[in-house]
Amino acid sequence: MSGQENLAGKVAIVGGSSEGIGYGIARRLAGDGADIALVARRAEKLEAAAKRIRDETGRKVFIVAADIRKADDCARIIAAPIAHFGRLDILVNNDGAPPLGDLMSFDDEAWDKAWQQNFMSVVRLTRDAIPAMRKAGGGRIVNIAALSVLQPMPKFGLSVATWAGVIGYAKTLSLEVAAENITVNTICPGRFATGRLAKVFGTGGEEAEQMRERLKSEIPVGRIGDVSEIAAVVAMLVSEAGGYITGTTMHVDGGRRANLL
């Protein structure tokens, strides 16, 4: 696998990277020359993902089995790869998403779990990562949210509310660290071919192929996105070519977002 960006000598931490979008991002960054720390909850899935990336790219891959909803785990997610590799250049904040449901159905515990998962994890991981990025002479932070935060949908309220906070946090932080060669951007993916797609949209006994055709019909380019397309955007943002892009919130969605901005 040959990458298009030169990330040789860089170290990246990628959340939620045992599968799906996170795995696709980690695989691409390794293909572009970076050494990678994979983060997810289940060690066995991380080991399998790490082996595939090592075999394909020849890069060094380290794993951290952790729960980003826990403050102590967030500290370890940053500290362990820095101790292992000796530096940190790239942080990709990515994980799953809170449960779907009507906003009025969620109690304080559900809101707290969503807040810890989507918002406080970004705050904690970023806060611990920036000192190492300063030491390295700069860095790149990319947050992965979802299109629903820009174009809210019923049942997605936990994600919309908490990721909206991430967008505000990221924009403010980008202004505060820009002079230190640290960029902060947020990507809001539309519909991509991952295991979560069927889980979220395959309702009402709808067959998988019927579900996919229905979703494709709602996307202007006429297809569901491939994970490699999100990974390519991240690879550009974390490379030298992305050094003048910071404080942005971009949607990668096949044209589905129906707003001017």
CA distance 49 to 60: 12
CA distance 147 to 205: 25
Domain shared by 51 and 150, yes or no: yes
Domain shared by 24 and 148, yes or no: yes
Mean pLDDT by 10 residues, the chain (261 residues): 75 97 98 98 97 98 98 98 98 95 97 98 98 98 96 95 98 98 97 73 63 83 93 97 97 85 64
Predicted pLDDT of residue 202: 58
In a domain, 3, yes or no: no
In a domain, 258, yes or no: no
Domain shared by 208 and 239, yes or no: no
Domain shared by 214 and 231, yes or no: no
Predicted pLDDT of residue 197: 64
156-159 LR contacts (CB < 8 Å, sep 24+): 156/100, 157/101, 157/102, 157/103, 157/106, 158/97, 158/98, 158/99, 158/100, 158/101, 158/103, 158/106, 158/110, 158/111, 158/114, 158/118, 159/97, 159/98, 159/114, 159/118
Structural domain of residue 244, as residue ranges?
Answer: 11-190+226-252
**Domain count across the chain:** 2
Domain shared by 136 and 31, yes or no: yes
CA distance 80 to 39: 11
Q: Kindly list the distances between the CA atom of residue 47 and the CA atoms of 24, 51, 194, in Å, as whole numbers in the listed order.
A: 15, 6, 20
What CATH number does residue 154 fall under? Answer: 3.40.50.720
In a domain, 46, yes or no: yes
Domain shared by 46 and 155, yes or no: yes
Predicted pLDDT of residue 218: 86
Predicted pLDDT of residue 2: 44
Q: Kindly list the distances between the CA atom of residue 71 and the CA atoms of 5, 75, 112, 116, 123, in Å, as whole numbers in the listed order.
A: 33, 6, 13, 9, 10
Domain shared by 126 and 246, yes or no: yes
In a domain, 2, yes or no: no
Tokens 């997810």 sit on residue: 40
In a domain, 243, yes or no: yes
Which are the contacts of 53, defined by CB distance < 8 A and separation ≥ 6? 26, 27, 30, 36, 38, 59, 61
CA distance 49 to 27: 9
* pTM, full prediction: 0.93
Domain shared by 135 and 214, yes or no: no
Predicted pLDDT of residue 1: 43
Domain shared by 237 and 205, yes or no: no
In a domain, 257, yes or no: no
In a domain, 6, yes or no: no
**SS3 (DSSP) at 145:** coil
In a domain, 107, yes or no: yes
